[in-house]
Amino acid sequence: MKTTLTTTTDTIVAIATPPGRGGIGVIRVSGPDSADLAKAVLGVMPKPRRVHYGAFSDSQGHVLDEGIALYFKQPNSFTGEDILELQGHGGPIVLDMILQHLLKLGCRMARPGEFSERAFLNDKINLTQAEAIADLIDSSTQQAARSALNSLQGSFSKLIDELIEQLVDLRCYLEASIDFPDEDLDLLAEDKITPRIKNIQDQVSSTLKQAKQGALIKDGIQVVIIGKPNAGKSSLLNCLAGSSRAIVADIEGTTRDIIEEQINIDGLPINIIDTAGLREPTDTIEQEGIKRALKRLESADCVLLLEDATDNKQAEIDSKYSALLPTGIPIIRLINKVDLTGDTPGLTTRDADQPYPLLRISAKQNLGIDQLKEYLKEVMGFNHISEGNFTARRRHLDSLMDTESILNDALTQWGNTGAAELLAEDMRAAQKRLETITGMFSNEDLLDVVFSGFCIGK
């Protein structure tokens, strides 16, 4: 059961369709006054869950629009409250006229995500399902959309609920053993407890692995291309994007600012970032471009260090900028223009003195690019053929990693002390950490963070 949270009893309203002009515009109302508002606007009370066609009028009987009205009586609605939806024409003026009329009748403008928040507070959905709604709307690939839908339908929640149930069972077993020590002296034997903890650990690790896939599908990765001028960074961006996104010229320093392009590889969203060539700047504009290039390295998930196979002075940039490369993320060294040197494109076996994997390519001739795409998926741990993927967020990963750490410490403590009281408390801590994922244990601050990122009307 969720912790008690503040609920509201006022009636909210918002335009649920995107800004702009369209064939249809939807205004959504939720709250205890929805039925009265339906009668005021329609002149009649529509039957619940039945389509009603008619005029939408103001208090003087002037027709504002006409269209379809739907009324849902609580608790059989998305929010668990009475809901009225008015589906009229999608012009911004007519929608605003209806909205202003509803506000005059006593509605309050909904906050971003407030309809979904009320659905959560009224136990219609859990927190991961609420987040999946926003993820489904924001999906940038088909894989992301399918994964968000899986989350919305409860695939992620089910895994978490099963883990919580096992933790609760083990904690109850431990506490019963503590409360009734004379019933069976063998209840707390190591061979009865340790396998159960390890089994939960394995399931947490498996869920975390799937969640990391889900986070990749949802957020994608930031891939930054860096290198000297004329190494072929813009050509590589264009090659990966499949279009002439960046200007390519023989003149050094053509790229002065950051250029970004969204692509996807087998469902993995990738933001490719082309940067200014790294060298001693010739003017203040180029200096700022190089500064921005180095700044983008701080948020990179992967770096493509591009070199010109025909440039015998590459060591200059290697020695100057190698110390600025981020640590803890994949860095792939790309040797470009192998079409001019006759070198064989492809991945080279790592040498002991080579800090980064080396891949020979020709961005101009599209040589080695498919291997680069496959290697990007590999180094980021992405598996596009996984079934039952679900979307996940950073907070989900943090909770699962914290749970994993708690269980590791608990197992060590249990092996050293055999203290059932301490182990039961560890199980309680792991349970609470997992409960923050689905919202069984949550607070107002967490909800503010989650729902503030939603669009108004959802």
What is the model's pLDDT at position 226? 86
What is the model's pLDDT at position 200? 96
End-to-end Cα separation, the chain, in angstroms = 24
Evaluate whether 327 touches 251 at the Cβ level (below 8 Å).
no
Asked whether the whole model's pTM tops 0.75, one would answer: yes
Q: What is the pLDDT of residues 401-425, one digit of tens each?
A: 999 999 999 999 998 988 889 999 9
Please say if the pLDDT value at position 55 is more than 90.
yes
What is the model's pLDDT at position 314? 60
Alpha helices in 343-443 (DSSP H): 369-379, 394-417, 420-438
Evaluate whether 25 touches 17 at the Cβ level (below 8 Å).
yes
For the chain, percent of residues with pLDDT exceeding 70: 84
List the domains of the chain with CATH numbers.
Answer: 12-124 (3.30.1360.120), 144-217+393-438 (1.20.120.430), 220-379 (3.40.50.300)
What is the model's pLDDT at position 248? 47
Query: For residues 149 and 181, which has the higher predicted lDDT (pLDDT)?
Result: 149
Evaluate whether 72 touches 50 at the Cβ level (below 8 Å).
no
Q: What is the pLDDT of residues 252-280, one digit of tens each?
A: 444 546 788 888 888 889 999 888 766 66
> What average pLDDT score do residues 101-118 get?
95
Q: What is the pLDDT of residues 362-397, one digit of tens each?
A: 998 999 999 999 999 988 888 776 656 899 999 999
What is the total residue count of the chain? 458
> What average pLDDT score do residues 43-49 get?
95
Nearest residue to 440 (alpha-carbon basis) of 5, 118, 131, 3: 3
d(CA 98, CA 120) in angstroms, rounded, equals 27
Average per-residue pLDDT for the chain: 85
Please say if the pLDDT value at position 284 is more than 70.
yes
Q: What is the pLDDT of residues 64-93, one digit of tens each?
A: 999 999 999 999 999 999 999 999 999 999
d(CA 333, CA 316) in angstroms, rounded, equals 15
What is the model's pLDDT at position 242? 80
Please say if the pLDDT value at position 41 is more than 90.
yes
Query: For residues 2 and 238, which has the higher predicted lDDT (pLDDT)?
Result: 238
What is the model's pLDDT at position 99? 97
What is the model's pLDDT at position 5? 44
Q: What is the pLDDT of residues 121-152, one digit of tens each?
A: 999 999 999 999 999 988 888 888 989 999 99
List the Cα angle 175/180/183 in 5-degree steps: 130
249 — pLDDT class (breaks 50, 70, 90): very low
Query: For residues 294 and 127, which has the higher predicted lDDT (pLDDT)?
Result: 127
d(CA 178, CA 232) in angstroms, rounded, equals 68
**Two structure tokens written together for 292:** 């921005």
Which amino acid makes up residue 133?
I
β-bridge partners, 29: 13, 84
> What average pLDDT score do residues 297-323 get?
77
